[in-house]
Amino acid sequence: MSQIYASFKSIGAYVPEKILSNADLETMVDTTDEWILKRTGIKERHIAADDEVTSDMGAKAARLAIDRADIDKEEIDLVLCATVTPDYFNMPSTACIISDKLGIKNVQAFDISAACSGFVYLLTVAKAFVESGMKKNVLIVGAEKFSSIVDYTDRSTCILFGDGAGAAIISATSKKEEAFVDVHASADGSYADFLVTPAPGTVNPVSQKVLDEGLQYVQMKGNETFKLAVKTLTKDVKEILAKNEINSDEIPHFIPHQANYRIIKAVGDALKMKEEQVVLTVGKYGNTSAASIPMAINDIWESGRLQNGELMLLDTFGGGLTWASALLPFAGKAK
Ligand code: UT7
How far apart, in whole angstroms, are the C-alpha atoms of residue 195 and residue 282? 19
Distance 6 CA to ligand 1 centre (A): 39
CATH number, domain at 108? Answer: 3.40.47.10
Question: For position 132, what pLDDT does the model report?
Answer: 98
Question: For position 1, what pLDDT does the model report?
Answer: 65
Of all protein residues, the one whose alpha carbon is nearest to atom 36 of ligand 1 is 156
Enumerate residues lining ligand 1, CB below 6 A: 31, 35-36, 39-40, 116, 155-156, 159, 222-223, 225-226, 229, 259-260, 263, 287, 317-318
Number of domains making up the chain = 2
For the CA of 156, the closest atom of ligand 1 is 44
Domain boundary among 123, 144, 177: 177
Question: For position 220, what pLDDT does the model report?
Answer: 97
Distance 222 CA to ligand 1 centre (A): 6
Same domain, 71 and 209: no
Domain boundary among 130, 157, 177: 177
Question: For position 300, what pLDDT does the model report?
Answer: 98
Same domain, 129 and 252: no
Q: Is the peptide bond before 329 cis (omega within 30 degrees of 0)?
A: no
- Write out the chain in H/E/C secondary structure: CCCCEEEEEEEEEECCCEEEEHHHHHCCCCCCHHHHHHHHCCCEEEECCCCCCHHHHHHHHHHHHHHHCCCCHHHCCEEEEECCCCCCCCCCCHHHHHHHHHCCCCCEEEEECCHHHHHHHHHHHHHHHHHCCCCCEEEEEEEEEHHHHCCCCCHHHHCCECEEEEEEEEEEECCHHHECCEEEEEECHHHHHHEECCCCCCCCCCCHHHHHHCCCCCEECHHHHHHHHHHHHHHHHHHHHHHCCCCHHHCCEEEECCCCHHHHHHHHHHCCCCHHHECCCHHHHCECHHHHHHHHHHHHHHCCCCCCCCEEEEEEEECCCEEEEEEEEECCCCC
Question: For position 2, what pLDDT does the model report?
Answer: 84
Which residue out of 34, 85, 194, 226 has the highest number of ligand 1 atoms within 8 Å of its CB and is therefore the one to mutate?
226
* Per-residue tens of pLDDT for the chain, all 335 residues: 689 999 999 999 999 999 999 999 999 999 999 999 999 999 999 999 999 999 999 999 999 999 999 999 999 999 999 999 999 999 999 999 999 999 999 999 999 999 999 999 999 999 999 999 999 999 999 999 999 999 999 999 999 999 999 999 999 999 999 999 999 999 999 999 999 999 999 999 999 999 999 999 999 999 999 999 999 999 999 999 999 999 999 999 999 999 999 999 999 999 999 999 999 999 999 999 999 999 999 999 999 999 999 999 999 999 999 999 999 999 999 99
Same domain, 124 and 172: yes
Which residue out of 223, 230, 233 has the highest number of ligand 1 atoms within 8 Å of its CB and is therefore the one to mutate?
223
Of all protein residues, the one whose alpha carbon is nearest to atom 29 of ligand 1 is 156
Same domain, 131 and 192: no
Domain boundary among 116, 151, 177: 177
Q: Please state the pTM of the whole predicted model.
A: 0.97
